[in-house]
Amino acid sequence: MLGKLLLTGAAGGVGKALRPLLPRIAQTVLLSDINDIQDVAVHESFRRCDLGDRHAVDELVDGVDGIIHLGGISVEKSFDLILNGNIVGVYNLFEAARHHGKPRIIFASSNHVVGYYRRDQYLDSTAVPRPDSLYGVSKAFGENMASFYFDKFGQECLSVRIGSCFPKPANPRMLATWLHVEDLLDLCARAFEAPRLGHTIIYGASGNDETWWDNRHAAFLGWKPKHSSAQWRAEVLAEAGAQDPKDPAVIYQGGAFVTIGHPSDE
Ligand code: NAI
Ligand code: 15L
């Protein structure tokens, strides 16, 4: 059990879903986000912070025993927004951790680091990144930052290439990529408890019938997802209708991220 856990991006979708589960792994939780949070529970406190503000991030991390880093831009956006939240923000977080006792970091990376691999390719964590967006590039940067800070400073971090962490799968692609928040919580617990974490990359998907990812290099964590998208398969496929096998959004793992417009062209 951790003492004080820092949860960045706490006002977002995953943050909101994870919050009620966090007493299972931490005594107190410091919530943080650039947006306000009103409903703070007794075991929680809140500090508003822009991840791009180095001094504020340094103060935020002081005294925490572990970090779940969800904060940042979570979809394709302008380079300036991504630069502040996901590039400068990640640097600030790792620097702050280094200066304050190196609490373990769980970094919310994304499947969009490898979004330009086809769905018939089976990937492990050694696959060379093929980002499908500026957003995916920024997550690859975060993983590289984790690698560098471990090799140079011994800062331990689990980068979770999250698939699709939502209440239920919203389309056929998510039948393969879906991650139940309880499985994410269990993965975080194992990463904080493991005798050694080092710099590890894992794909964050539940025990779905279809998978494109192989987590053998993170097997030492003993993570066994309990949930599966199977219960929604018939409903999701019926709602979606026929898929065009020539559509790049159907061919590639990143789905619609490979077909959306480039932000600077808009
Ligand atoms: P979200 O967009 O709902 O939440 C992200 C939070 O970060 C927001 O509350 C936002 O206000 C905050 N934020 C953005 N810029 C910030 C800044 N400069 N300083 C401080 N806070 C800032 O995203 P969601 O879905 O909750 O995802 C959480 C994390 O997991 C994100 O890092 C996302 O990239 C990653 N992820 C999520 C997936 C999913 O399926 N939900 C899949 C893959 C990765
Ligand atoms: C992500 O990285 C995004 O944060 C999330 O909004 C979804 O688009 C998810 O990937 C996905 O690929 O389904």
Q: Spell out the domain ranges in the chain.
A: 2-265
If you write DSSP's letter for every residue of 186-240 in order, what string do you get?
A: HHHHHHHHSS---EEEEEE--S-SS-SB--GGGGGG-------GGGGHHHHHHHH
Please say whether the beta carbons of 61 and 47 come within 8 A. no
* Separation of CA 24 and ligand 2 centre (Å): 26
User: DSSP code of 88?
Assistant: I
Q: What pLDDT digit, counting tens, does each position of 17-39 carry?
A: 999 999 999 999 999 999 999 99
260 neighbors 75 (Cβ within 8 angstroms): no
CATH code of domain 2-265: 3.40.50.720
Place of tokens 């219960």: 231
Q: For 97-147, how does the pLDDT look when each residue is reduced to its tens digit (9 = 90+)?
A: 999 999 999 999 999 999 999 999 999 999 999 999 999 999 999 999 999
Given the structure tokens 């909101």, which residue do they identify? 16
163 CA → ligand 2 middle, Å:
7
The reply to whether ipTM tops 0.95 is: yes
Ligand 1: which residue has its CA nearest to atom 32?
Answer: 70
Residues whose CB is less than 8 angstroms from the CB of residue 110 and which lie 6 or more positions away in sequence, other chains included = 135, 136, 139, 161, 162
Per-residue pLDDT at 266 = 73
